[in-house]
Amino acid sequence: MSFGRKSAFAAAALAGPMVASAANAADESMSTCLIKASQVRSAIAAAQPGQTKDEAAAQAKIGRDFCSAAYFTKGVAHYTKALELLGRS
């Protein structure tokens, strides 16, 4: 095996755990988005009609859009804002 192939193999072997860690972090963030989305859906369903419910629904849509685009932190922030508007922290 040439030095170049050995180096490439070693680099790939070392990068594997780092890629797996990043994937797990992304899964945790996506999980948080899904949990918050479920909480917001329940809160909106139980809320009385009105401006606050409409604002919360708008925040939920923004949260969904961010989470769908893999901006999990921003998505969760908008879901949290929706819950705050509905009086659920």
pLDDT, residue 89, reads 75
Q: pLDDT category, 6, cuts 50, 70, 90?
A: low
Instruction: State the pTM of this model.
Output: 0.69
pLDDT, residue 17, reads 45
- Residue the block writes with tokens 């009105």: 50
Q: Return the domain boundaries, the chain.
A: 26-85
Cβ burial 48-83 (10 Å sphere, 16+ → b, else e): eeeeebeebbebbebbbebbeeebbeebbbbbbbbb
Q: For residue range 36-82, list pLDDT tens digits in order.
A: 999 999 999 999 999 999 999 999 999 999 999 999 999 999 999 99
pLDDT, residue 24, reads 43
Residue 79 to residues 35, 61, 71, Cα–Cα distance (Å) = 10, 9, 12
